[in-house]
Chains A and B, each alone.
Chain A
């Protein structure tokens, strides 16, 4: 499977995480731009998910199949979960939540690549 979708997610997630960190430092909740950033990260995640599904449908098998599928599920739900939690917390801690959600997805990309190639 191509590494590009995962790399795009990593870059996008790290940029949005850093951006949310700026809002944490300014003692502010996520603004529209940060929420838009989360949406972009999730869109990139869905592209990656699509690429993974195409690869699996084409007969490719990850080294650890079950673990890979588990990580894929977590991968897709983390940012929407963070989005909803951050909306419920309109303080700087909402920005922390958005930041952490992005960082988790960046880590999950690493794990997806690891369990794919073993």
Chain B
């Protein structure tokens, strides 16, 4: 079992290793939770808050794609999803505070994700920081040319 500590800086590391694996875990959980919750809400009470439930479903979908992008080391997909999430949580967070009647029921992104301990706000920031720190590498595969030898 290889347990040698990576003394090299993060640049050039695969995005699905190390801190990336922590992100994959949390993203995976949010993907499951947001999608299941939105599916249940859409199926049982769509008419109560259609906008909120559709946004929740969209958020869940993006978490799923982000999880796949991170775990397959697909940098472009991961960057895209994290960016959409950050924009989404800021936009929906602001809209939910400005126009409360449009959001009679909470979404994952309402109030900047306060219903989930602001994790939906922190997660894309951490994701983008991690992607930024590992950026100096082959942009297509998310791997360094000399991966594993550093």
On A, residues with C-beta under 8 Å from B are 27, 29, 66-67, 70, 73-74, 78, 81-82, 85, 88-94, 96-97, 100-101, 104, 107
Our pick among A66, A78, A89, A101 for the contact of B18 (Cβ within 8 Å) is A89
- Is B1 an interface residue, CB under 8 A from the partner? yes
On B, residues with C-beta under 8 Å from A are 1-3, 5-6, 17-19, 21-22, 24-26, 28-29, 32-33, 36-37, 40, 44, 117
A-B contact count (CB 8 A): 49
Q: Is the CB of B29 within 8 A of A93?
A: no
- The residue in chain A whose Cβ has the minimal distance to the Cβ of B2 is A90
- The residue in chain B whose Cβ has the minimal distance to the Cβ of A81 is B25
Closest 6 A/B residue pairs (Cβ): A89-B21, A90-B3, A93-B18, A85-B25, A96-B22, A97-B22
Q: Is the CB of A78 within 8 A of B29?
A: yes
Shortest distance in angstroms between A67's beta carbon and chain B's nearest beta carbon? 8
Q: Is the CB of A91 within 8 A of B44?
A: no
Q: Is the CB of A70 within 8 A of B37?
A: yes
Residues of B within 8 A of A70 (CB): 33, 36-37, 40
> Apart from A67-B37, A104-B29, what 20 extra A-B contacts exist at CB < 8 Å?
A27-B5, A66-B44, A70-B37, A74-B29, A74-B33, A78-B29, A81-B29, A85-B24, A85-B25, A89-B17, A89-B21, A91-B3, A91-B6, A93-B19, A96-B22, A97-B22, A100-B22, A100-B25, A100-B26, A101-B25
